[in-house]
Every structure is written in C-alpha cells, then in structure tokens.
Structure 1
Amino acid sequence: MTRNAITSNLGYPRIGANREWKKALEAYWAGKINEEQLRTEMDQFQLSNLRKQQEAGIDLIPVGDFTYYDHVLDTAVMFGIVPPRYRYEGGPDGLDLYFAMARGNSRAAACEMTKWFNTNYHYIVPEIGDIQPVLTENKPLAAYRFAKSQAGIDGKPVVIGLYTFLKLSKGFALSEIRSVAERFLPVYVQLLQELEQEGAAWVQIDEPAVVTGLQEEDIELLGHIYGALHAAVPGLRIMLQTYFESVQPLEALLKLPVQGLGLDFVHGGEANLEAIERLGWPEDKTLGAGVIDGRGIWRCDPEEKLALAERLERLVPEGKLILQPSCSLLHVPVTVQGEDRLKPEVRNALAFADEKLAELGLLKLALLEGREAAGAQWAGAKAALDAFRKLPERNRVDVAELERGLEELTDRRNTVYAERAKRQQDKWRLPLLPTTTIGSFPQTPEVRQARLKWRKGELSPERYDEFIRRQIADSITLQEKIGLDVLVHGEFERTDMVEFFGEKLDGFLFTRNGWVQSYGSRCVKPPVIYADVAFTEPMTVKESVYAQSLTKLPVKGMLTGPVTILNWSFVRDDLSREQVANQIALALRQEILALESAGVEMIQVDEPAVREGLPLKEQDRRQYLEWAVRAFRISTSLVRDTTQIHTHMCYCEFGDMIDSISDMDADVISIETSRSHGELIASFEQMDYDKGIGLGVYDIHSPRVPSVEEMETGIERALRVLHPEQFWINPDCGLKTRGWSETEASLRNMVAAADNARKKARAVQP
C-alpha cells in the first residue's frame, strides 16, 4: 500500500455546537460581561476547536481562522485599514473600534457587508482609500503561538491572500489595483517573515478570488505578488488555497513560486482533474486536494472518494498529496451529535464539520492501508448511504410523473404584459403611483413569545390562531388608516421566509442544532431538502383570505419563490439544483392556484436570492439564469390575466440582470435599492423596462424615520427615467425587524410623499 497522504483542514466553525460563541458576543455587546471575560471565553472556544481537530487526527490544523466577528474584518484591522469616520476625538479603539466597524455606532455607520462569493456567509467590506497599511498586530502569529503553547499543536497559519483581499475591497479604482498591491506587499512580507522566524512549517494563503476567472492582468498581478513573497521568504512553504470552483487557466497558478496549491475537487472538481491530467503536476509542488465537500451536509460515498484519491495519487509525486475539505468548514454546522429527532436513515446520512473530519481520517486510512483496514466504519458508511438512498420519500412516483411533464408544461402567461396591465387596471382601479409594503410587519417580542408557547404546547392551536388573527386585523386597520393602496396581512405566523414553507411542504426536514454563521453573531438554521418536494395542502390561504375579508382594498398573498427556497436551504446532492428548483416550483404552483381560487388575486412571489445563486464564472451564468427564471414562471404562469403577480428582489447590479428580470414576466417587481438608489436609477437611463416596478424609497435596515421630502426626492429622480403609470412606491424590504412606532411614522411619510408626487405627475400629464 502507498504512503503518500496526510490530512489537513482549511477552517473550522467558530460558533460552537450550542452557539456559545454567539452568546458570548451578545453578552459583551449587552454589557453583561467585560472585555477580559469575553477574551477568556473566546480563548476557551478557540482551544476547544483546536483540540477537536487534534482528536480527529488531522495532520495540519489551521490556526488564525478563528475570529471575534469576521475574518476579512480581522485582516483589514490587522493592516490598519480603518475608515477615517472612526478617527474622531474620543473615538473607539481596540475591540470597540473593531465592533464599531462591523456594527456601527452613534457617530459612524458600519462598513458595508456583502456575500462571501456564492455562499450565504457575509463579510465586512474593507474600505482602503488612501490609507497606508501597517501591520498593527500579526494575528496569524498570535494564533500560531496560542495553538502551540496551549494545545501543543504546530498549526498551519491561515491568511487571506493579497489578491483576494484587494478584489473584495472598495475605495479604489480597478485600474489602480497594481499600485494598491505595492502598498500592501511590505506588510504581507513582514507578516510572513515573522511566521517563518517563529518556525511555521506551512502557511495557508487563501485566494478564492482566482476561481472567478483570470485575465492576463490578473495573472500578471498574481505573478508579481507571489514573486515578491517568495523572494522575501524563500524557506517558508506557502499553500496557495483556492475553493468554490475550478481554476482557469490552472497553468497560471502552477507557474507561481509557491510550494503548494489547494484545489477544489468537489465544486468544479472535474475541470481541475482534467487540467491536471492534461498539464501534469510539477515535481516541486504539493497538491492540497479538496475531496470532502466543505459546504454540503451529506455523508460522502467512501468508494467514490477513495477512487478520487487514488486517481489523484497517481497524478502527483510521492509524498506530495494532502487530503482536505473542499473549503473551510465554516459553512456547515458543528456536529450531528444531538440530532436525535431525525429518523435514523436520515441522521446516519448527515455529516457536519466533526463528521467530515472523521471522513478525512477514514479516507486516509483506506488510501494508506486499504479499505479492509477501515473495517466496520467503511461498511457502516456504505450501509448508511444505501438505506438513505432507498427511502421512499426520495423516490416518489407522483413527483417523478410531474417532472416528466415539465418539457410540455406551459411556463408562460396567456397574455403579454401590456394587455394584462390594462385588464388589471380595469379590475383594481389603483391610483397613479400606488403604495404598498413588501410583506412583513414587526415581529414583536409578544409575537415571538406566542409562537414559542404554541410550539411548546403551552398555547393551544385555537388560541394561537386567535392571536394571529388579532395581529392581522390590527395590521389591516393600521394600513387603512395610514392610507396604503395595496395591503398585506403582515406574516405574523412566520418565523422565516423559507422555514415557514419548508415546514409545510413534503421533502424538507429541520435539525435541532444545524446552525451556521450568516454574519457576525447572526446564525441561521437552514432547512434541509432531503427528499422529493411536493405540495400537501394550502399553506397561506387561511391567513390571506382572512385578511382580505377585513377590507375592500386588495391584500397581497405572500410566498417565497422556488429559487430563494433552494438557495437558502441545504440541498440534496443526488439531483441537480435545477431539478430541485423545479420540484419546488411545481409545489408553489398549486399554492398560487389555491390562493387565486380563494379570491386572493394579487400574489407576491419573492425571489431575493436569485442573484445570490449566480455561478462564479461568467460563462456559466446564462444557463443558471435560464432555469432559475423558468422555475419562477412555472410557479406563476397559470393564473388569470387579471391576477397580478408581484415579486421582490434584493439589490443587484440591475444592468446585468435586466433581461432575466424582465423574462420572469412578473407584473410588478420591487427592488431593494435605498442604499444604492442613485446607482440603480442611473442604470435605467441606459435601458428600457416595460413592467411595473417599485424602487425602495427608504431603507428598512435603519431605525431612522426618513422625511417626506427625502422620499419625494427619490421618487422624483426615479420618475425622470420611469413612467408614472409603471412606478410603485414601497419600502425597500420587509419590516419584520423594525418597531411599530418607526414603521408607522415611516409609512405615513411614504404615503404623504406619494400623494405629493401624484399631484406633480398629474400636473405635467397632457
């Protein structure tokens, strides 16, 4: 048998099996513990994470991946990249400055936050500007020393690569990136030199930005960066780590003067394999092979992974193979332990972070000594997968029959939008510039407590329904008093816009402790799509019909769209994402028809996550958008011409989505734009959009109440490029996280702004 593999990990979840990390942070922010207590607790969490990886037998354990909030923010602060707005007299410093950048304070707004590539993790965007970087603290070095002194671990420091750090930052023009890199190279050199002097054997430099596609100027910049680093620390072994996709062209990275290259063999893995087989693997480089899925939650097929590892082993020189996850385990929950409410066939098919580390160990053993050495564990893994795959709910005949009819299934409305719009206006008689909201109203502590009591059995279903009806009635009354034109029921019965539907559709399950970090201390527990998705009974009709019975004004039925449900869930890995999206779409189609039959004839199908699912490579995006748009149309296409379909999307670069958004064929789309209102409106000067549209006129993420004049200004600017007959007026997103007083005040100002805008629009109409 071979002796050609060791194991490595790329990163471990920070939050703790019971979200202890989150609780400590929030206790500190609430003033319940002081900084010393917080640091003591954080050290314990970090030490526990290290020891768990040590006990799992991982050979190269990452250090420096642990953070108090976000690893990109850590890098910015470490290099002194602090926006000037925090540098006022008496301003924050130390940990208070760090958290102010993440969360804002009374004097300065928080730094921008956005998605980490195509994951559901959010990072804090560095604001570089003219700041001259300086190494304020060598955080990877401190983490390396901590692991060595506290756990006897000679760890592998993790650093965000300069190329990726700059690609993720703002505050300079793209044409300036080479000169900005020159400013940063000395501090990167200093950081690595200090690690080399301390005795670090390997340093993992994360460069996921390279998988989005490399142009000549990118290749030249990477060559310059890594040439300078190699010249400064020639004895330090650098593992240039990529993940989330294949590298194209791979030969560009193979030429860089680094000792190792980490590649993802799960996502884009076949392309990476084919490139290695075509190019060959250099004698002087180690391959960090991402063979275990770091983003999915399913147990791997041991036979498939062993075949992959053996194939890789034949391609690289003796002693140059490292087995590892495809990316950091940050993106999966901590452990399956405690998930005792799941049926055994499902539970045994799950693999969270701890289980993935065990899979690495098992794979290494089988590669070194043969599958026979893995014994009962190997047989148990195969048996568990076999039992899971045979579950009847994963092989439903009725769902398969619906899917077979997809090719012939109509996914287009009967009538073009221009004709539908006339019939809808004849039916609804809405005023010019109609006002509405996006769907949810404040989820007060009273609402959350009632739901919790109902779930615990402390409140009967009848009493809970009565409570929800009171909330709906109060919200309808308030909306009428405010003067809104199209109302919503408020979504008081819903915890989360995806979880609510997952609980009512077949094919979903919910874990007890399957938490992952979304941003900062915010953790989410995504639904798990483990089987065929199917409609069982109406999910929203009861509340929508009740709300409509209370008013003569139209009330929108509110649904989450198929692509958002898909993108915000853990998804089964035996079907394509397109197939699963279509299953969800077919189920939602029945719900939409049930709403229409019950007299709810304005229906909003929210798709805030459509753009989030875009593939990282430009050439793959068109195919994704085609099936994503079709899934939306499958859901909505059978309604009558007079039934008005709305959708809502979070902010995106509208220009590169305009054709796809139009092709969704929704009658009205609202877009979250308040923070980038001017940018989006400017884009309409270069394009035509012929359907109803609402550009959010105020930011719901802030408790601030915008003035009438402020909203009027935004409306007037939009009307320079949009016709009044197509423009709707609404907040930029749902109001779930706001309080009632600020919600009412903001909506009253919004309605007043709309009234003023109507008068001006009528005055200029012929």
Structure 2
Amino acid sequence: MIRTLGFGLPRLGPNLEYKRLLEGFWSGLLSQEKLLAGLQELEGLRATAYREAVDLHPAGELSLYDPMLDLAVALGLYAAPAGDLEAYYALARGNGALPLRKWFGTNYHYLVPRLPERPQYAPRPGWFPYPIGAPQEEGLPTLIGPYTLVRLAQNPPASPMEVQAHLEALGEAYGELLGWAGGRTVLLQEPALGLDGAGDHLSWLLPVYRTLAERTPLVLLTYYLPLEPGVAEALAQLPLKGLGLVYQPGSPLPHPAPGTALVLGVVEGNGVWRTDLAALQEALTPVVEAGQEVWLTSKAPLFHLPWRVAEPLPPGLEGRLAFAVERLKELSLLKGLLLGEGNPEAQAWHTPPLPWDRVPSPIPPSRPSRQVRRQGQKDLGLPPFPTTTIGSFPQTQELRALRRRLRSGQLDPAAYRARIQEAIRENIRLQEELGLDVLVHGEPERSDMVEFFAERLEGFHTTQGGFVLSYGSRVWRPPILFAPPKRRGSLVLEETLYAQSLTPKPVKAILTGPITLAAWSYLPQGVGFRETVLALAEALREEVKEVAAQGIRMVQVDEPALLEKLPLRERERPGYLEVVREAFLRVVGDLPPGVQVHLHLCYSDYAALRPFLEAMDPDVVSLEGARQDPSFLEALADLPVDLGPGAFDVHSPLEARVEEILARLQGYLRHLPPERLWVNPDCGLKTRKPEEAVANLRNMVEATKKLRERMGGKDADRT
C-alpha cells in the first residue's frame, strides 16, 4: 500500500491570514472570539489544501503562537488555563517571556520551555489536540514528542539518571494527553531522535514509546536528520502505526514490525527546487514491490516554504520551483508513478540544475593583532560603556508605503531617495537627542536584512508574496539564489556616508553577513552551503573595502544565523567552523586596523559560540541577553573581545524601566570587566512602534549614565 502524508503546511495561510489575526488581536482590533473563529476558518482552509493533494494530514496543527509553547502549557509547565489567551501570550511576548531559539538549524524560532526541577508534570485538558477550538472530524491529532522537549529545553537533564526520570514522567503525562485523542491515530513528532546521543537514551525511550503505542495508534515522525541505523532499527521494532524517516536513496531501510508503515521523507521541506521524481521512482520501486507499506511525505515541515508558486518567474526559473502546495502535489505525482500510472507531468517535473561558474579570489591575510587594532582605534574617543543600537529603527507604515509606491512605479527613484534621506536625518537627530554614542542610519530603505541585499546583488530572485514565518507573527521573504552573486553597485555606502555627514559621532556601516544571507535564502540548485557562503563573502568584500576607503570607521556584520547553521551532528562542526572563519576573513580581512569591526548575533547557545568568536576575531560583539540570566556570559568572560549583551528585549512591546536596565547591566558586570561592556538593545528595533523604541532607548541611555556615575568614570575615555 502507498499513501501520502502532508504535514507542516504554512500556518500563515495563502494571504498572511495568520499574521493579520494575531496582530489584530494584540492591537485590540479583534476580540478573542473573532481571533479563535478566524483561526478555525484558517484551519479549515489548510485542511482543504491537504485534502485536495494527499491521503493523510494532521489535525489541530495550527498553533496560537508556537507548538513548543502549546506543549509546555499542555503539560502544565506554565500557568495558562485553556481559554486564557492573556496568560498564554504573556509567555511569548510579555514580562518574563520565554527565550527564543532557532529550531533545528532553521530560521524558525521556538519558545524554549524550562523543565521542572523535579520530573513531575500535570497535563491540562483543553490544550491537546485542539488548542484553537472545536476538533476536526478528520486528520491525525499531532504534537511534539517527549524526547524533543527534553533535548530542546532551557535546562536539558544533565545526567543519565535525570534523563531517565524525565522521560518516564513524561511518558505518564503523554499517556493522559493521548487519551484525549479518543483512540484516533496520533502523529508524534520527534525530530530530536536524529541528534547525536539519541542512541544512548534508547533504553529509556523505547519503553515510553511502546507503552504509548499500546494505548493508541501512533505514528512516530522524525525529520530534518536521517536516523543512525541502530536507532532506526530499534524504533522499527515498536508496535507503531508508522515510523517516519528521512529517506536516503541507496541507504538501507530498517525492517519494521508487522503492521508498521515506513513513512519516508522523500521531498524537500526547506528547499525550493523541484524533486527528481523519476529518480525517486527508480529508488523506491524495489521497496514497494517487496510488499512494504509506504507513506510518502516531506523531509521537513512545509512551513519553511511559502504557500505556493503564484508569481511570474524570470527566465531560467520557470518550471523549476516548488513551494508548500507544490510539495504536496509532488507527493501525489510520485505516488502515481509508483503505482504505474503514466503521467507526462510527473516525468517532466524536474529540470537539471543551472550552471554555477565562479572562480574564487585568494583569501586575505589575517587581520592585525588585537593590540595593533586597539591602538589604531584609540582616536574614536569612546566613553565607558558605549551606547549604540543594532541597526534598524521602526519600520513605519509610511516607509512600507514608500517602497510599495517605488516598486509599482508610482514614485520615481529620486523622490524615493529624498524621502529616505529625510528619514535618515530624523534618525540621526533622534539618536543625538537621546545621547547615544555610536549611531546608525536606521535602515529606513531596507525591507528585510536579507531581501535588501538580495535585490542589490546579481544572481538572486526576490518574490513579492513568498512569505515564511519566523516566529509569532514575524515573517520574511527568503530570496532564491540561482547564479553566482555579484555586486551591482553600492549596498550600504550611500546611506552610511549620508548619515555620517550629519554628525561628528561615529556611524556604523551595517551589512548582513554571508552566513545569514545563505541561511535565510534558498540555496542554488546543486551547489553546497560552503561554496554559496564564500561566493557571498566575495560580493560583500568589495563593498566593505569601499566603505573603509571613504572614511567610515566602524563596520558591523550581522550574523544572527551563525549558530542556526551549526551542524546538528558533532562530526560536521569542524568543517563549518572553518567556513565561518574564512567567510568572515574574506569580508573584513582587508580593513585597516583603525576600522572597528562589530559582529551582531542573537538567540545563540553562547558556549557553542565561543570557538567561532575566537576564529573570527571581531573587535565588538553585540548579542541577545535580555531574556537570559547574566551568567550566560561566563562562557565568553575571558575572551579578549568587547561585548554588548542586550539591555532590553526588542521582541516585547513593554517598556523596560531605567532601574530594570541598570540592574541588568550590573548583572553583566559580575561576569565582564567594565572596559569590555557595551550597551545596546538585544536586536534591531524594526518591529517596534516608534514610541516603544524611543522610550526604551531613552531609559537605556539614562541607565548607562547612572552606571557611569556609580563606576566613577563618567567622562573618562574608554581606551
């Protein structure tokens, strides 16, 4: 038997319905009743899209904000009774909100729950399997599994005994949750089974899964990573309805217990190039002919893709792309091929990759020593605890309307440029009024930190409506890189020079780094990550050299995706570290010692970050910290680099009081020497309202003044 299973269809919907519903509720324009009614309608729309293409799909898949938060609430880790959306959303965006972290090497951010100190859980009715309202009559109830929760928590168990205790307690809690599914087949998502170390936990995991599978029909779904052979074979012996695996043509498949289907991830869930269905047909035919029940699915949830290909494409890309809806169609086409149905569309679905012709330039020599650089930067005259921002200022409706008018031809480029300069003047005036020490131009011209650069580099295609969810209601449009990137003209030089002409204070030139450009774009067909990153670094290198030649003394490279792309398998990490080191050197290696190099990161495991900072050797690093205990800095305390851990949380609409910011800065100083501390927000201010940004920046500067007074260095030069 062959069936098709779709999962992870974008909860954004085809026209950003999800984003509008959440933001309407948060702004007070929608009542809770209208929010839930709108979400139920969206869930019905998604169910229809599944029904039209595949045999099986999840039910209750649509989260109120984040599935990991839903799970934490369902298990009683946080006080948010069913129906209390105020308490629920406080965990996501209020005071004391849970920290955000990247989900399995993707740009989706999940809210990171904290496990109880003692392994005790109190499941709550009403959160599983239908957190948004009435249950559907079709579909497989779904939730994240216990092992993924344990591995991805803020405080994963440290010892084998603790792992065992939590898994056993979670097994009982999940037994109660699955009982609420009413005997229907449950889709239990366990991507963490592909992580290193999963085999060491099998002796405790297998009894948990066995007990759950004996209580209710269970499909254990893994994705992103292929399982180690021993792990796959052990799981295959469980009495499961189905076992989901990332399929690797040529690799042996496990031999499942009777009645267990192999659920094979065969099409991409986070790439956009069409699948070679004919090649898959050839590889899978022996499995089907052997009588094995097979369910065809994707290698990752489909929410990493836009809804569907719905725009005209440039020459060379036509007939090559597949977004979420097209991935569902691929599953149906592949099923038809395996069943022997003659289908010309399936046979002609795939097109060979476009050529990629690029000759790399020599790697620049290493940067001057830190001592030489510090001497060259003394004349910057920075005070103790320099204050700055990460780069972006609030993106108002007026700025978005300006870009729409420019793209539609209603506004000529000269008029657009004049309005952007007006916004830059206002941003500089505001920063000087607030008393910031290192200024930014505010990025009014940038729609997105990746899309903006993609539009100015040859080799990229950018969409108008290809949105993907990042977290909450935050979206971005991943560009598609299809040819070697080349710099057309100025990327950041024009706006940075204009901003610097308005103030005697230093202005940072801010560029998105090559790792993040590659991570938040769809990679070229048939080209590896390393080759893509180094090609992007070369394009940025030209801009950085020109910025410095024009007298700009500070260059900031934004790499929020640095640890996002850290390989999930330990054996692959040394190679990635070398790629990061070489790429950063290619971007900034030609800069003279008097140019201060800043690196911006966010939402990282900072212990894992340390070797990258040692290899990259920036002068200043700004990073997220407001949702974490200051002790996270211990991992970086003795590095000879200045650090700017976040003074306030940019992802909350709440105002951070002066005393709160001051206490946070003093907490940082328990782990850092004063001469190494910078003061800045967690991240850019793009998503905040202007009044929210101004209030927090004013409080940040005031807290810094108080800190300088208490430290006795109010006007002393930093160097």
Larger Rg: 1
Measured after TM superposition, the shift of residue 41 of structure 1 is 3.2
What amino acid maps onto 1:348 in structure 2?
G
Return the alpha-carbon distance in structure 2 between the equivalents of residues 590 and 527 of structure 1.
Answer: 21
- Does structure 1 retain, via aligned residues, the 8 Å contact 2:25–2:31? yes
Amino acid at match of 2:528: S
Conserved? CA contact 1:705–1:745, under 8 Å = no
The correspondence for 1:241, drawn from 221, 228, 231, is 221
Query: Equivalent residues in 2 for 1:11-22 (5 A)?
Result: 11-22=8-19
Q: Give 1:323 deviation, angstroms.
A: 1.5
State the match for 2:577 in structure 1. Answer: 625
User: For residues 672 and 114 of structure 2, what CA distance do their matches in structure 1 show?
Assistant: 33
1:318 equivalent in alignment to 2:305 = no
Counterpart position of 2:645: 695
The aligned counterpart of 1:286 is 261
SS at match of 1:366: helix
Does structure 1 conserve the Cα–Cα contact (< 8 Å) formed by 2:129 and 2:180?
Answer: no
User: What displacement does 1:504 show?
Assistant: 0.6
Matched, 1:374 2:343: yes
1:424 corresponding residue in structure 2? 377
Q: Distance in 2 between matches of 1:733 and 1:592?
A: 22
Question: Residues 722 and 748 (structure 1 numbering): CA distance in 2 closer, same or farther, change over 3 Å?
Answer: closer
Against the structure 1 CA distance between its residues 639 and 441, is the aligned structure 2 distance closer, same or farther, given a 3 Å change threshold?
A: same
1:166 aligned partner: 150
Consecutive unaligned residues in structure 2, runs of 5 or more = none
Aligned partner of 2:515 in structure 1 is 563
Q: Per the alignment, in what secondary structure is the counterpart of residue 251 of structure 2?
A: helix
Q: Does 1:728 align with 2:681?
A: no
Tell me whether 1:221 sits opposite 2:204 in the alignment.
Answer: yes
**Which of 245, 253, 261 lines up with 1:263 in the alignment?**
245
Question: 1:473-552 counterparts in 2 under 5 A?
Answer: 473-552=425-504
Shift of 1:174: 4.3
> How well do the aligned residues superpose, as a CA RMSD in angstroms?
3.1
- State the alpha-carbon separation in 1 of the partners of residues 482 and 260 from structure 2: 39
SS in 2 for 1:274: coil
Specify the code of the residue in structure 1 equivalent to 2:589. S
- Are 2:402 and 1:450 equivalent residues in the alignment? yes
SS of alignment partner, residue 648 of structure 2: coil
Moved more, 34-43 or 207-216: 34-43
Distance 1:764 1:556 in 2: 19
2:5 to 2, 5, 8: 8
Identity of aligned residues (%): 34
Q: Contact between 1:203 and 1:237, CA under 8 Å: does it hold in 2?
A: yes
CA distance, structure 2, for counterparts of residue 544 and residue 141 of structure 1? 50
Greater Cα shift, 346-355 or 215-224: 215-224
**CA–CA separation in structure 2 for the residues paired with 1:302 and 1:191:** 38
- Cα–Cα, structure 1 residues 253 and 646, in superposed 2: closer, same or farther, change >3 Å? same
Opposite residue 432 of structure 2, the aligned amino acid is E
Give the distance between the partners of 1:142 and 1:651, measured in 2 at CA: 27
Residues 479, 521 of structure 2: 8 Å contact kept:
yes
Aligned to 2:62: 66
Of 256-265 and 702-711, deviating more is 702-711
SS in 2 for 1:50: helix
Q: 1:640 to 1:51 in 2, by over 3 A?
A: same
Distance 2:620 2:180 in 1: 57
Distance 1:600 1:210 in 2: 48
Is contact 2:662-2:704 (8 Å) kept? no
Q: Match of 1:89? A: none
Cα offsets for 1:400-456 (capped at 9, x unmatched): 12x2x4xx422522x22221221222x434344433322222333443343333333
Q: 2:311 aligns with which of 339, 346, 359?
A: 339
- Decide whether aligned partners of structure 1 residues 13 and 716 sit closer, same or farther in structure 2, where only a CA change above 3 A counts: closer
CA distance in 2, matches of 1:369, 1:216: 38
Find 1:121's aligned residue among 105, 108, 128: 108
Q: Secondary structure at the match of 1:611?
A: coil
Q: Shift in Å at residue 355 of structure 1?
A: 1.0
Shift of 1:170: 4.8
Query: Deviation at 1:742?
Result: 0.8
Paired amino acid for 1:670? S
Give the distance between the partners of 1:21 and 1:476, measured in 2 at CA.
Answer: 35
Q: Structure 1 length normalisation: TM-score?
A: 0.85
Is structure 2 residue 650 aligned with structure 1 residue 675? no
Whether contact under 8 Å (1:80, 1:136) holds in the other structure is no
SS of alignment partner, residue 555 of structure 2 = strand
* Aligned equivalent of 1:756: 709
* Aligned partner letter, 1:124: L
Q: Is the 8 A contact 1:411 1:637 kept in 2?
A: yes
What is the DSSP-based 3-state SS (H/G/I as helix, E as strand, rest coil) of the residue aligned with 2:194? Answer: helix
Aligned to 2:83: 94
CA change 1:358–1:143 in 2 (3 A) is farther
Q: Deviations over 1:627-667 (max 9, x none)?
A: 12321111110112222211111142322221211211212
Counterparts in 2 of 1:360 and 1:181: CA distance versus 1, 3 Å:
same
What is the identity, as a one-letter code, of the residue corresponding to 2:277?
A: P
Asked if residue 185 in structure 1 is aligned to residue 185 in structure 2, the reply is no
Structure 1 unaligned blocks of 5 or more: 87-91
Among 302, 307, 330, the alignment partner of 2:277 is 302
Instruction: Name the amino acid aligned to 2:349.
Output: A
The 1:694–1:305 alpha-carbon spacing in structure 2 relative to 1, beyond 3 Å, is same
Distance 1:252 1:546, change over 3 A: same
Q: Secondary structure at the match of 1:253?
A: helix
Q: Secondary structure at the match of 1:361?
A: helix
Say if 1:761 and 1:610 are closer, same or farther in 2 by CA, change over 3 A.
Answer: same
Instruction: Measure the CA separation in 1 of the matches of 2:44 and 2:671.
Output: 57
Matched, 1:469 2:421: yes
For the residue of structure 1 that corresponds to 2:129, the secondary structure is helix
1:173-212 matches, cutoff 5 A: 173-175=157-159, 176-193=162-179, 195=181, 198=183, 200=184, 202-212=185-195
Give CA-to-partner distance per residue, 1:86-111, whole Å, 9 cap, x none. Answer: 6xxxxx75152564355456xx6434
1:362 to 307, 313, 333: 333
Query: Which structure carries more helix by proportion?
Result: 1
CA contact (8 A) 2:265 2:298 kept: yes
CA contact (8 A) 2:240 2:260 kept: yes
Contact 2:610 2:636 (C-alpha < 8 Å) held by counterparts: no
Provide closer, same or farther for how the CA distance between residues 705 and 649 of structure 1 changes in structure 2, counting only shifts above 3 A. Answer: same
Task: Return the alpha-carbon distance in structure 2 between the equivalents of residues 724 and 101 of structure 1.
Answer: 33
The within-5 A match list for 1:659-670 is 659-670=611-622
Q: Which amino acid counterpart does residue 378 of structure 1 have in structure 2?
A: A
**1:555-594 pair list within 5 angstroms:** 555-594=507-546
In structure 2, do the counterparts of structure 1 residues 274 and 144 end up closer, same or farther at CA, with 3 Å as the change threshold?
Answer: farther
Q: Displacement of 1:505 after TM fit?
A: 0.7
Residue 364 of structure 2: which of 410, 418, 422 is its match? Answer: 410
Whether contact under 8 Å (2:623, 2:682) holds in the other structure is: yes
Q: Is the 8 A contact 1:603 1:644 kept in 2?
A: yes
Normalised by the length of structure 2, the TM-score is 0.90
Q: Deviations over 1:723-743 (max 9, x none)?
A: 444443333322333425314
Query: How far is 1:582 from its partner?
Result: 0.8
8 Å CA contact 1:411–1:630 kept in 2: the answer is: no
**2:303 is aligned with 1:330:** yes
1:156 aligned to 2:140? yes
Matched-pair contact (CA < 8 Å) for 1:724–1:761:
no
- Alpha-carbon distance between aligned partners in 2 of 1:219 and 1:111, rounded to the nearest angstrom: 29
